[in-house]
Amino acid sequence: MFCRIPFIVVFAACVSSAVSETLEFNLFAYGKLASSGLQLFYGDGQAYVGGAPSFVKESVNISLVMVEGGDKFVARANTTSPAWPTEPTMYVDLTEGAAISVGFTTDNKTLPDGATSVGFGLYGGWVFHKQDDADIEMKFLATPTNETGIYLVKWNAASTKTRDAIPISLRTQAPVVFGDK
Ligand SMILES: *[C@@H]1O[C@H](CO)[C@@H](O)[C@H](O)[C@H]1NC(C)=O
Ligand SMILES: *[C@@H]1O[C@H](CO)[C@@H](O)[C@H](O)[C@H]1NC(C)=O
Ligand SMILES: *[C@@H]1O[C@H](CO)[C@@H](O)[C@H](O)[C@H]1NC(C)=O
Ligand SMILES: *[C@@H]1O[C@H](CO)[C@@H](O)[C@H](O)[C@H]1NC(C)=O
Domains of the chain and CATH, by start: 23-171 (2.80.10)
Report the alpha-carbon distance of residue 135 to residue 14 in Å, rounded.
Answer: 26
181: pLDDT confidence band, cut at 50, 70 and 90? very low
pTM: 0.85
13: pLDDT confidence band, cut at 50, 70 and 90? very low
Identify which of 131, 128, 135, 133 has the alpha carbon closest to the alpha carbon of residue 169: 128
Q: What average pLDDT does the chain have? A: 87
Query: pLDDT tens across 81-105, in order?
Result: 788 989 999 999 999 989 999 999 9
Ligand 3 center to residue 107 CA distance, Å? 8
Strand partners, 90: 104
* Share of residues in the chain with pLDDT > 70 (%): 87
Q: Which of 54, 61, 76, 84 best tests ligand 2's pocket when mutated (most atoms within 8 Å of CB)?
A: 61
**Residue 5: CB partners within 8 Å, gap ≥ 6?**
13, 14
Ligand 4 center to residue 147 CA distance, Å? 8
Q: What is the predicted pLDDT for the residue at 155?
A: 96
Kindly give the pairing relationship between strand 140-144 and strand 126-130.
unpaired
52 phi and psi, to 5 degrees? -100, 140
Burial (CB < 10 A; 0-12, 13-18, 19+), residue 173, is middle
Ligand 2 center to residue 62 CA distance, Å? 8
3: pLDDT confidence band, cut at 50, 70 and 90? very low
Q: Give 59's DSSP letter.
A: E
CB 35 within 8 A of CB 51: no
Which atom of ligand 4 lies nearest, measured to the CA of 147?
1
Residue nearest to atom 8 of ligand 1 (CA): 78
Ligand 2 center to residue 60 CA distance, Å? 10
Residue nearest to atom 2 of ligand 3 (CA): 108
Q: Which of 72, 107, 110 best tests ligand 3's pocket when mutated (most atoms within 8 Å of CB)?
A: 72
59: pLDDT confidence band, cut at 50, 70 and 90? very high
Query: pLDDT tens across 133-178, in order?
Result: 889 999 999 999 999 999 999 999 987 777 789 999 999 999 987 7
* 27-63 burial: b if 16+ Cβ within 10 Å, else e: bbbbbebeeebbbbbbbebbbbbbbbbeebeebbebb
